[in-house]
């Protein structure tokens, strides 16, 4: 794709979605500075993507329940996860005011996978393999949860789908699609939100926002270092960084350590507190 074509697409996006329509970036002050969210996400309706997330999350729960793999409300790990989420979620609105209206859910899926996710609209799932294989502390669980919630707050799924659409459609076709409200093809192309891959920059941004969310909720952000040490030990033999969309564990640890001075004061202030400041 040539530079002129890309410039035209960007210009179209700016014309269709002026900056005033986007929610404001978090005010600079205490905590991390990740700047404004991508303008490209405005090419995809948030409400439609969140409805799709609700449907896919419900399908996932039904499939897990059919296999007796959906953690019961009384399961000790479900209670634990929801308790941690209850402390983190009140701080989410700083990074996305829409989060106050989301119907948050968190569930445990019985699986050997070392994985977790948060879909658009606050639909969270942890796989039991992540907890059992890595033997995560509450602080480490909070770092993982904050990271996954950060993807939803920063609307990385909307951004990924929008950029995919921009690269696959001509400017005139894109204008027609937006003008007529025809988004079905975009979601067909996007496929399952569970399989959506984020970029390295998305992952790095989610690391930082997740650190702040965990710290504000009173969880030790230094657990990000031990978490990625455990991840590295569990993923020996994984491809090098340049073959992956994710930053390598060592690079993530270095970035976490570099930003700890920004979030440790929040942790000290929020430790043992559950009421947002």
Whether 33 is in a domain gets the answer: no
Determine whether 212 is an active site residue: no
**What is the total count of domains within the chain?**
1
Whether 118 is in a domain gets the answer: yes
Q: Is the pLDDT of residue 182 over 80?
A: no
Question: Which member of 148, 165, 205, 212 is catalytic?
Answer: 148
- Give the model's pLDDT for residue 48: 84
CB-based contact 74:135 (threshold 8 Å)? no
Q: Is the pLDDT of residue 4 over 50?
A: no
**HSE (side-chain half, CA atoms, 13 Å) at 135:** 1
Whether 70 is in a domain gets the answer: yes
Q: Is the pLDDT of residue 198 over 80?
A: no
Whether 2 is in a domain gets the answer: no
Q: Is the pLDDT of residue 17 over 60?
A: no
Query: Strand runs (DSSP E) across 60-191, as ranges?
Result: 105-109, 116-119, 123-127
DSSP SS3 for 37: coil
Whether 61 is in a domain gets the answer: yes
Whether 36 is in a domain gets the answer: no
- Give the model's pLDDT for residue 166: 60
Whether 257 is in a domain gets the answer: yes
Between 140 and 33, residue with greater pLDDT? 140
Domain that holds residue 200: 43-270
Whether 13 is in a domain gets the answer: no
Q: Is the pLDDT of residue 160 over 60?
A: yes
141 phi and psi angles, rounded to 5 deg? -60, -40
């Amino acid at each position: 794709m040539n530079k002129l074509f890309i410039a035209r697409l960007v210009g179209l996006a700016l014309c269709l979605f002026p900056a005033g329509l986007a929610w404001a970036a978090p005010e600079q002050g205490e905590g991390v500075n990740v700047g404004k969210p991508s303008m490209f996400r405005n090419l995809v309706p948030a409400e439609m993507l969140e409805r799709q997330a609700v449907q896919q999350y419900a399908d996932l729960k039904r499939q897990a329940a059919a296999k007796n793999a959906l953690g019961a409300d009384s399961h000790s790990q479900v209670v634990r996860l929801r308790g941690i989420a209850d402390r983190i979620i009140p701080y989410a609105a700083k990074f996305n005011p829409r989060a106050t209206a989301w119907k948050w859910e968190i569930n445990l899926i019985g699986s050997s996978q070392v994985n977790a996710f948060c879909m658009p609209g606050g639909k969270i799932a942890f796989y039991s393999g992540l907890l059992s294989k890595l033997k995560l502390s509450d602080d480490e669980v909070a770092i993982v949860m904050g990271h996954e919630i950060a993807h939803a707050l920063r609307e990385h799924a909307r951004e990924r789908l929008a950029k995919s659409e921009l690269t696959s459609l001509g400017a005139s076709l894109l204008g027609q699609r937006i003008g007529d409200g025809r988004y079905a093809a975009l979601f067909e192309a996007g496929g399952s939100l569970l399989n959506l891959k984020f970029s390295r920059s998305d992952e790095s941004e989610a690391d930082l926002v997740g650190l702040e969310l965990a710290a504000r909720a009173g969880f030790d952000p230094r657990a990000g270092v031990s978490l990625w040490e455990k991840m590295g030990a569990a993923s020996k033999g994984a491809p090098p960084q340049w073959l992956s969309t994710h930053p390598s564990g060592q690079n993530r640890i270095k970035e976490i350590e570099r930003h700890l001075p920004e979030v440790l004061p929040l942790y000290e202030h929020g430790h043992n507190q559950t009421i947002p400041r």
